[in-house]
């Protein structure tokens, strides 16, 4: 398989503060990766570093072999890095459809296709961002990232704080993206077992460093290790 993303000895953070330390990982096209760890260990910082929203202190970040370490965030989006932030990033003055079409890039993901993926949004297409429920906002956030037609999709706790019925629907969406659609996905999620069920591989962060990496199935099948590195 072709390598899509690589981080080599990356240290990054905010200003002079280093949050992510000496981190290396690689991800091939079509693979999925869960990023686990307790609160405050650097999971979101890892995603924001790939997106280009932190200060890169050391190391290299490459997408399809191209060094993007000095590339601004908007250019990273243009080369195929899609991001669904934990805050969802809704604009109260934009309709659902405007959220989607404002960022659209040519590719297989079209307005019609994301509406097929999230049929609930069809009836809400003219509603403003602040007129949506939390679940609807998360659907829009994921749909908007897909409209970029990304090569790499970063999901930062997409299931957090949502009603169980919405979580079930979004689980099916994420599973479909990583299996049937073969999209390359990095998933940050507090619910470890759920994340492991949705991904192929996993890393665990502790104090900004990777302390474990394996297949998701391997970690899921080792409850003692899972408890020790994630849940304790």
**Residue pLDDT, tens place only, 141-161:** 999 999 999 999 999 999 988
Domain ranges of the chain: 1-80+199-232
Buried b (16+ CB within 10 A) or exposed e, 79-88: ebbbbbbbeb
Q: pLDDT value at position 162?
A: 87
Going by C-beta distance under 8 Å and a sequence separation of 6 or more, which residues neighbour residue 88?
137, 138, 140, 141
Tell me what percent of the residues of the chain surpass a pLDDT of 70.
99
Task: Answer yes or no: is pLDDT of 178 > 80.
Answer: yes
pLDDT band at 14 (very low <50, low <70, confident <90, very high): very high
pLDDT band at 208 (very low <50, low <70, confident <90, very high): very high
Q: pLDDT value at position 20?
A: 96
Torsion angles phi and psi, residue 222, rounded to 5: -125, 75
The helix (H) or strand (E) run that includes residue 56 is strand 55-63
At 53-88, the pLDDT tens digits run 999 999 999 999 999 999 999 999 999 999 999 888
Token duo for residue 5: 């993303």
Q: Kindly report the CATH number that applies to the domain delimited by 1-80+199-232.
A: 3.40.50.300
Give the C-alpha separation, 112 to 32, whole Å. Answer: 25
At 180-199, the pLDDT tens digits run 778 999 999 888 999 999 99
Q: Average per-residue pLDDT in the chain?
A: 93
DSSP state letters, 110-168:
-HHHHHHH-GGGTTTTTSBGGGS-HHHHHHHHHHHHHHT--SEEEEESTTTT--HHHHH
pLDDT band at 89 (very low <50, low <70, confident <90, very high): confident
Give the C-alpha separation, 136 to 166, whole Å. Answer: 9
Place of tokens 């669904």: 84
Give the Å distances, CA to CA, from 132 to 99, 111, 124, 183, 229.
Answer: 13, 19, 8, 27, 37
pTM of the model: 0.94
Going by C-beta distance under 8 Å and a sequence separation of 6 or more, which residues neighbour residue 102?
94
At 19-42, the pLDDT tens digits run 999 999 999 999 999 999 988 899
Give the C-alpha separation, 113 to 215, whole Å. Answer: 31
DSSP alpha helix (H) spans, the chain: 43-51, 73-78, 96-101, 111-117, 134-147, 164-178, 192-198, 216-220, 223-226
Average pLDDT over residues 156-174: 92
Going by C-beta distance under 8 Å and a sequence separation of 6 or more, which residues neighbour residue 25?
5, 6, 7, 33, 203, 210, 213
Task: Answer yes or no: is pLDDT of 90 > 60.
Answer: yes
Task: Answer yes or no: is pLDDT of 210 > 60.
Answer: yes
Selected residue with higher pLDDT from 21 and 89: 21
Q: pLDDT value at position 232?
A: 52
């Amino acid at each position: 398989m072709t390598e899509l993303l690589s981080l080599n000895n990356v240290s990054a953070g905010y200003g002079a503060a280093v949050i992510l330390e000496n981190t290396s990982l690689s991800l091939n096209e079509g693979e999925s990766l869960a990023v686990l760890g307790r609160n405050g260990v650097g999971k979101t910082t890892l995603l924001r570093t790939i997106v280009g929203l932190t200060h890169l202190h050391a190391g290299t970040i490459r997408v399809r072999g191209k060094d993007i370490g000095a590339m601004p965030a908007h250019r990273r989006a243009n080369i195929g890095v899609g991001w669904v932030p934990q805050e969802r990033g809704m604009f109260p003055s934009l309709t659902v459809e405007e959220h989607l079409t404002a960022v659209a890039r040519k590719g297989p993901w079209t307005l019609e296709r994301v509406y097929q993926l999230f049929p609930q949004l069809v009836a809400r297409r003219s509603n403003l961002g602040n007129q949506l429920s939390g679940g609807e906002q998360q659907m829009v956030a994921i749909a908007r990232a897909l409209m970029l037609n990304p090569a790499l999709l970063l999901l930062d706790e997409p299931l957090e704080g949502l009603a169980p019925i919405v979580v079930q629907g979004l689980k099916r969406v994420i599973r479909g993206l990583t299996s049937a659609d073969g999209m390359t996905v990095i998933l940050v999620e507090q619910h470890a077992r759920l994340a492991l069920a949705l991904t192929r591989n996993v890393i665990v962060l502790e104090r900004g460093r990777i302390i474990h990496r394996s297949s998701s199935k391997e970690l899921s099948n080792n409850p003692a290790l899972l408890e020790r590195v994630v849940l304790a």
